[in-house]
Amino acid sequence: MRITFCQGILAVAITINLLILYYISRLQQRVLHRHREHMPPSTHQQLGPLKPGVTILIREFQDFENYVPDVVRSFVKQKPELPAVVVADRLPYPPMGLPSMPSVQVVILKPAPDQPAHTSRPETYVRTAYVALVPDGVKADPTSQLERMLEEFKASQGKVEMVAAPVRSLMPLQCLNLKVSLKRWTAEYTPAAPSSKLCTALKGEAVLLLRTKDLFNLSVPLAKPLMTSLFIQTSLRGWTVRILDISFSAVHQPLLTSSHNQWKADNLAKASRLQLFRDFGIKRVLLEDGKEQWFGCSKETQRCFGTIHDDTPEYLYQNRWTPPCCLKALRETAKYVINILEMSGVRYWLEGGTLLGAARHQDIIPWDYDVDLGIYLEDIPNCELLRSAESGSIVDERGFVWEKAIEGDFYRVQYSEHNHLHVDLWPFYPKNGFMTKDTWMDHRQDVEFPEHFLKPLVPIQFAGFLALAPNNYRSFLELKFGEGVIENPEYPNPALKRMEKGNGM
Ligand SMILES: *[C@@H]1O[C@H](CO)[C@@H](O)[C@H](O)[C@H]1NC(C)=O
């Protein structure tokens, strides 16, 4: 085959083109490669062991006024190659002006869609065995506090999981005991003994040192407010913190220079605290000064659990009990309804699970979701609210909603129009010495019973007041639920969800 001159030229041109393309692609690869050098080590590279020493981690600071670069510089002065990681929810703006050294890094927790997941995970950047959580405005001095903290921590190895060095400030660091019960949606802070250095929570500013692998094995290691979040998680794991005789000074006190900035910071702190308790499912907080705070569940909010299927509310599947605010609302509704029944001359008695709770511990069963009362059918006309409820639901002057239930011949009083926590009123009438009714629910306890249990009715302590119960209520309850029901608590539908053993009330 002969090749013409034109064909020869073409072949040479194609070859040159290919060479150029190859060269360009090599160049691009090299550029990409160089770009990667500015990114943190990739996941398999970082799996290497942690190095000895401490990384300082700064998590809480305000974009609009902070001293983070000064904090970092003061620590780097103590120890020039000290790694520092600044963790922010989003890129701080205006820029902070951190010292530009490879050992100082900023982590943005908000994932960027063009970056691998590990770039937004702080554990990728903390490569030392220990980490010190440093508040904004802390000044390290030449006495190498961090090294001493580490020595003290190692000396108390196995006894505590964290050590804390107070920041000298207007408010002395407080040592607290924190008890969190997720089951009861509650966190309870109490002051530790005055001279105690062993705490389960701290209040105030401190540098906190712990093992890196402990910090990043928490559920949410760096949620804000950092100390609140941290101690909730560590107290649930039984960890303690020791307050050391080492302290740090502050750049100035108070940290923020204007009352406007302080106001902004306070509002942000309040919002993140609210979000944290919401995320952790904590609805009731008892503070160290005895004050009580409630999160969620009010007359204006919806009931904080959904429609109940098979007698088993969703919180039981989450291994939790009735939210405390719901119990409080149920108690309030029960007391209110019972008062109205008594005033209007409607004979009533605690029924079913409600009576069971009263017999067991004078209160609503901690995982119950409503209150049941029996009433005499013939007494209904005595109560104007019940009479009116016949012809449609009505909201009374206190905001409670009275209505005839759609599921059958009984009445329901709801906590409010928004919040459908309720007391059910079951009308019974006597027939041949037994109490009976026309609507039956598919429940073991929903059966006829001899009228003598109601003659007379007897007072019983319930939910903080005196209510009326059938006489001989132990046999009444055993007739309805079976023998030993008072002593052997069980969830409403044990076939679906059993109570764990050793899980006392
Ligand atoms: C991480 O925490 C779990 C329990 O919270 C614990 O069982 C496990 O041993 C911890 N892992 C490490 C490496 O500490």
At 353-395, the pLDDT tens digits run 999 999 999 999 999 999 999 999 999 999 999 999 988 899 9
Cα gap 473→457, rounded to integer Å: 10
Please report the pLDDT score of residue 502 as a whole number.
59
Quickly list H helices, 345-383: 352-361
Tokens at residue 119, please?
């770039």
Cβ–ligand 1 contact at 217 (below 6 Å):
yes
From ligand 1's centre to the CA of 158, what distance in Å? 15
Give CA–CA dist 477/455, Å, rounded.
16
Average pLDDT over residues 193-207: 95
* pLDDT > 70 in the chain, percent: 91
**pLDDT tens column, 230-259:** 999 999 999 999 999 999 999 888 899 999
Cis-peptide, bond into residue 456, ω within 30° of zero = yes
Please, where in the chain does CATH 3.30.460 lie?
314-481
Average pLDDT over residues 25-33: 49
- Of 322, 327, 335, which Cα lies nearest the Cα of 400? 335
Cα dihedral 346, 352, 353, 356 in deg (nearest 10): 90
Phi-psi region of 108 (alpha: psi -120 to 50; beta: other; left: phi over 0): beta
**Type of residue numbered 79:** K
Going from the Cα of 184 to the center of ligand 1, the distance in angstroms, rounded, reads 24
**DSSP state letter for 253:** S
Instruction: For ligand 1, say whether the CB of 213 is within 6 Å of any of its atoms.
Output: yes
Work out the number of other CB atoms within 10 angstroms of the CB of residue 477. 23
Average pLDDT, integer, range 410-414:
96
Residue type, 285: V
Q: How far apart are CA 376 and CA 399, in angstroms?
A: 25
The b/e string for 170-200 (b: 16+ C-beta within 10 A; e otherwise) is eeebbbbbbebebbbbbbbbeebeeeebebb
Q: Give distance in angstroms: CA of 112 to centre of ligand 1.
A: 29
pLDDT at 114 (0 to 100): 96
Of 373 and 46, which is predicted with more confidence?
Answer: 373
- Residue 109 near residue 120, CB atoms below 8 Å: yes
What average pLDDT does the segment 96-104 reach?
A: 93
SS3 content of the chain, % helix, strand, coil (to 5): 30, 25, 45
* CA quadruple 430, 432, 434, 438: dihedral sign: negative
Q: Which of 50, 217, 236 to mutate to test the pocket of ligand 1 (most atoms within 8 A of CB)?
A: 217
Confidence of residue 38 (pLDDT cuts 50, 70, 90): very low
Please tell me if the CB atom of residue 219 comes closer than 6 angstroms to any atom of ligand 1: no
CATH number (3.40.30.10, 3.90.550.10, 2.130.10.10, 3.10.20.340) of 46-183+192-256 reads: 3.90.550.10
pLDDT for residue 43: 52
Q: Give the number of the atom of ligand 1 that is nearest the alpha carbon of residue 217.
A: 1
Q: Among 191-195, 267-271, 438-442, which stretch is predicted with the lowest mean pLDDT? A: 438-442
Q: At residue 121, what is the residue type?
A: R
Task: Return the residue whose CA atom lies nearest to atom 6 of ligand 1.
Answer: 217
Mean pLDDT along residues 109-113: 95
- Rounded-to-integer distance, Cα 331 and Cα 154, Å: 51
HSE-CB for 98 with a 13 A CA cutoff: 23
Centroid of ligand 1 to alpha carbon of 207 (angstroms): 24
d(CA 408, CA 470): 24
Does ligand 1 have an atom closer than 6 angstroms to the CB of 488?
no
pLDDT of residue 33: 42
What is the model's pLDDT at position 389? 94
The ranges of the chain annotated as CATH 3.90.550.10 are: 46-183+192-256
- Ligand 1 mean position, distance from CA 217 (Å): 6
Query: How is residue 147 written in tokens?
Result: 């090294």
C-alpha–C-alpha distance, residues 393 and 402, integer Å:
6
Residue nearest to atom 2 of ligand 1 (CA): 217
Interatomic CA distance for residues 87 and 186, integer angstroms: 29
- Residue range 314-481 in CATH 3.40.50: no
CA–CA separation, 172 and 174 (whole Å): 6
CA 485 → CA 142, 365, 475, distances in Å?
A: 68, 13, 10
Taking the CA of residue 214 as reference, the ligand 1 atom at the shortest distance is 14
pLDDT at 39 over 60: no
Which residue is listed with tokens 């209007």? Answer: 344
Q: Residue range 417-443: average pLDDT?
A: 93
State the residue for tokens 């503070």.
287
